[in-house]
């Protein structure tokens, strides 16, 4: 499949597009709220940013986005009259759990009574 065809297929799928946007934007919001909270609590370190990039971006965001794109490239599996995309379903499940974890992290960052979340390698 050519890159242009893949991009056209992605453009025609609003669910995958919105999932990719959500998986890309929520970690940035989590980063902003977490950095602001750590600055306010005087616990900010640059090492935590390195851990965030390696664990969150490289370890979760990029794999989910790549599997979502791969699901568009692979296409559907048809069993009888039922068609479904196994790869996209798996990526959507991963995205849902990631979004839930990010939402909790953002809520904790905004909650003054929650303990500070320090990224661990």
Q: For the residues 16-43, what does the mean pLDDT come to? A: 92
Instruction: Assign 102 a pLDDT band (cuts: 50, 70, 90).
Output: very high
Q: For the residues 74-84, what does the mean pLDDT come to? A: 84
pLDDT at 42: 87
Q: For the residues 97-114, what does the mean pLDDT come to? A: 91
- The dihedral over CA atoms of 14, 85, 22, 24, expressed in degrees to the nearest 10, equals -120
Q: Is 15 helix (H, G, I), strand (E, B) or coil?
A: helix
Do the Cβ atoms of 50 and 118 come closer than 8 Å?
A: no
User: Which sign does the torsion angle of CA 87, 95, 12, 2 carry?
Assistant: negative
- The dihedral over CA atoms of 78, 84, 90, 93, expressed in degrees to the nearest 10, equals -160
pLDDT at 96: 97
């Amino acid at each position: 499949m050519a890159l242009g065809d893949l991009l056209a297929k992605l453009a025609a799928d609003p669910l995958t597009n919105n999932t990719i946007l959500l998986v890309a934007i929520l970690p940035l919001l989590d980063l902003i709220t977490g950095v602001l909270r750590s600055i306010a609590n005087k616990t900010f370190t640059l090492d935590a940013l390195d851990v965030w990039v390696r664990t969150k971006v490289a370890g979760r965001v990029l794999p989910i986005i790549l599997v979502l794109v791969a699901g568009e490239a692979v296409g559907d599996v048809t069993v009888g009259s039922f068609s479904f995309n196994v790869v996209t379903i798996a990526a959507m499940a991963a995205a849902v759990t990631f979004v839930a974890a990010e939402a909790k992290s953002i809520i904790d960052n905004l909650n003054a009574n929650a303990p500070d979340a320090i990224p661990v390698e």
